[in-house]
Amino acid sequence: MDDFVICLTLFSEEKTEKATPKRRREAREKGQVAKSREVVSAILLLLMFWCIKVLSGYIYDRLTYIVSKFLTIFADVDNLYKPGDMQHMFIQCIWSFMSIVLPILLIALFASILANYLQVGFIFSFKPLTPNFNKLNPIEGLKRIFSKNSLVELFKATFKILLIGYFIYDFIRDNYMMIANIMHMELSTSVTFVGNAIITIGIRSAIVLLVLAVFDYGYQLWEYEKNLRMSKQEVKEEYKQVEGNPQIKSKIREKQRQLSLRRMMAEVPKADVIITNPTHYAVAIKYDADVSDAPIVIAKGKDLIAHRIKDKARESDVPIIENKPLAQALYNTTDIGQQIPVEMYQAVAELLAFVYSLKNK
């Protein structure tokens, strides 16, 4: 029997339920989102190599300018001893180098922001930066090293290395004659050939890595959903936190009903007349010309509450008049604190006139 109870307990703790909106919101606030680093890397590489290809002519001119400046200044021995000329030359070279690097860096920044935004949208959280001392635990570190995620990352890294290696091999195989004669080419030709080779290999690799990144994002999304799953008990506990404990809410509603009933019963002695069914309904009517244009229902009840209203009325010498259709109609159509409907003016006025005649009003 004990084994059966343990099995049921373990079964109830299995995370089989989809994450609730509250669970997802809390995970997002902690920076826990479905994101693939491969998407960022692939888009970054693709845009950077595309940028280098588009700006290749400009980059070549800038590099030629920097090299020529260095060769010119060192060719003139007299200028080596002029600090002003050397400083001016170095500033020009630095600005030329920055004009090459800056567009590529801006493209890289844009690619990183774009890749992250496409995956998770806008999110800002400092919680991932909070120190987690559990990561310093060597046992937990070994678990992470030999975990399923580590094996997946190892597979992806191996695949990327083999992929890039294949593209390099394919390029060398198709251009081995050019590579063999590269030392005999003119400088401009050899530089152009090497640059085109790097760009071609880079763009091909980035495109294939982008395809791989799509599958990796799907895996990360699946892994994220699996980690967010909740057990049935967790769903129940969260529901209690969000909606409130049903027992507590029931007690609160009961308390509110009791307070409302007390307030209503306190108004019964102020009534001009109690109209009854006589056993099922009781409606207390009050008319004050200085307050309203028509009589107001100040209390009403059914069955047990109707009996309490009549008992309270007898204690306070409030007249009780039996009128079955009128009592039922007032109970069903008029809430406490509302004026009676126009179509009931005549019937209620006759009752009030009778009551006032009894009191010599």
90-103 mean pLDDT: 80
Q: Classify residue 95 by burial, with Cβ atoms within 10 Å: 0-12, 13-18, 19+.
A: exposed
The C-alpha atoms of residue 89 and residue 97 are separated, in whole angstroms, by 12
Q: What are the phi and psi torsion angles at 6 (to 5°)?
A: -60, -40
| Domains of the chain (ranges, CATH numbers) | 19-122+133-240 (no CATH), 254-358 (3.40.1690.10)
- Asked whether 327 and 281 are in contact (CB, 8 A), the reply is yes
Q: Which residue has the higher pLDDT, 300 or 91?
A: 300
Which is more confident, 140 or 192? 192
- Residue scoring higher pLDDT (83 or 35): 35
Residues pairing with 322 in the sheet: 276
d(CA 272, CA 252) in angstroms, rounded, equals: 33
| Cβ contact 312:265 at 8 Å | yes
Per-residue pLDDT, 80: 54
Q: Of the candidates 261, 343, 250, 349, which has an alpha carbon nearest to the alpha carbon of residue 309?
A: 261
Residue 83 preceded by cis peptide, ω within 30: no
pLDDT band at 145 (very low <50, low <70, confident <90, very high): low
User: What's the pLDDT score for residue 124?
Assistant: 64
The average confidence (pLDDT) of the chain is 77
Global model pTM greater than 0.75: no
Question: pLDDT confidence of 133, banded at 50, 70, 90?
Answer: low
For residue 75, the Cα-to-chain-centroid distance in whole angstroms is 64
Given this model, what pLDDT does residue 9 score? 46
What number is the average pLDDT over the span 204-223? Answer: 84
CB 337, CB 297: distance < 8 Å: yes
Mean pLDDT of 300-308: 87
Residue 83 has a pLDDT of 59
Strand partners, 320: 274
Instruction: With CA atoms as reference, report the closest residue to 270 among 351, 337, 323.
Output: 337
Positive or negative CA dihedral for 214, 220, 223, 224?
Answer: negative
- Cα separation of 232 and 7, whole Å? 15
pLDDT value for 4: 45
pLDDT of 12 > 60? The answer is no
Confidence of residue 246 (pLDDT cuts 50, 70, 90): low
Picking from 65-69, 153-157, 341-345, which range would have the lowest pLDDT averaged per residue?
65-69
What mean pLDDT comes out for the span 28-43?
80
Closest CA to 202 of 248, 168, 227: 168
Find the mean pLDDT for residues 91-116: 82
Q: Do 222 and 54 form a contact (C-beta atoms < 8 A)?
A: no
